[in-house]
Chains A and B, each alone.
Chain A
Amino acid sequence: MAEVQLNSISKSYGATTVIDDLDLTIESKEFVALVGPSGSGKSTLLRIIAGLEDISGGTIQLDGRDVTHIDPSDRDMAMVFQSYALYPHMSVAENMTFALRMRKAPEAEVQKRLDQALDILGLRGFEDRKPGQLSGGQRQRVAMGRAIVRQPSVFLFDEPLSNLDAKLRARTRLELRELHDRLGATSIFVTHDQIEAMTMADRIVLLDGGKIQQVGTPKDIYRSPANRFVAGFIGSPEINILTGPLTRDGDELKLNQINLPASKARLKQLEAAGSIGKDVELGIRPEHFEVLKSANDGSLALTVDAIEFTGQDVFVVGQAEGANITLRMDLRRDGKLAESLARGTVLHLAPTKDNWHIFDIDSGLCLTRG
Chain B
Amino acid sequence: MKPAANPQTGDTTKRNKRWVYLSLAPVIIVFLALSAFPVLNLLGLSLFKVTWQDGSAIYDFVGMENYKYLFNEEEIYWAGVRNTLIFAVSVVTVQMLLGFTMALAVMRAGSFGRPILTGIFLLPIVIPPIVIGTMWRLIMGREFGLINGLLSMAGLPTVDWLGNPDIALGSIMLVDIWHWTPFVFLLMLAGLESLDTEVLEAARLDVTSFWQEMRHIVVPMMLPTIVITVVFRIILSFKVFDEVYLLTSGGPGTSTEVVNFSIYRVFFSQDRVGDGSAMSVVTLFAVALMIIVANGLIQRRSGNKGGEE
User: Chain A residues in contact with chain B, CB under 8 A?
Assistant: 69-71, 73-74, 76, 103-105, 109, 113, 116, 151-153, 183
Contacts and interface: CB of A to CB of B under 8 A. Distances in A.
A60 to B, nearest CB: 15
14 contacts: A70-B10, A74-B9, A76-B3, A76-B6, A103-B4, A103-B8, A104-B7, A104-B8, A105-B7, A109-B4, A113-B1, A116-B1, A151-B2, A153-B3
A280 to B, nearest CB: 43
A105 B10 contact: no
A362 to B, nearest CB: 36
B6 A74 contact: yes
B186 to A, nearest CB: 30
A70 B4 CA distance: 19
B16 interface: yes
Given A71-B12, A74-B12, A151 B1 contact: yes
Contacts of A116: 1
A71 B6 contact: no
Contacts of B10: 70-71, 74
A70 B13 contact: yes
Interface residues of B, number: 13
A74 B14 CA distance: 12
B85 to A, nearest CB: 44
Contacts of B13: 69-71, 74
A74 B15 CA distance: 12
A103 B9 CA distance: 10
Contact of A103 (B2, B7, B11, B16): B7
A161 B10 CA distance: 32
Nearest to B10: A74
A343 B1 CA distance: 60
A103 B3 contact: no
A103 B6 contact: yes
Residues of A contacting B: mostly: loop
A219 to B, nearest CB: 31
Nearest to B15: A71
A153 B4 CA distance: 11
A107 to B, nearest CB: 13
Contacts of A70: 10, 13
Contacts of B2: 151
Closest 9 CB pairs of A and B: A71-B12, A151-B3, A71-B13, A73-B12, A103-B6, A74-B12, A74-B9, A74-B10, A104-B7
Contacts of A113: 1
Contacts of B8: 74, 103-104
B9 A183 contact: no
Interface in B1-60: 1-4, 6-13, 16
Contacts of A104: 7-8
Contacts of B6: 74, 76, 103
A68 to B, nearest CB: 11
Contacts of A153: 3
A366 B305 CA distance: 46
B21 to A, nearest CB: 17
Contacts of B4: 103, 105, 109, 151
A192 to B, nearest CB: 29
A113 B12 CA distance: 25
Nearest to A185: B3
B1 to A, nearest CB: 6
Interface string B140-174: 00000000000000000000000000000000000
Nearest to A151: B3
B3 A152 contact: yes
Q: Which of B3, B8, B10 counts the most chain A CB atoms within 10 A? A: B3
A109 B3 CA distance: 11
Nearest to B16: A71
A180 to B, nearest CB: 14
A151 B1 CA distance: 8
A69 B10 CA distance: 9
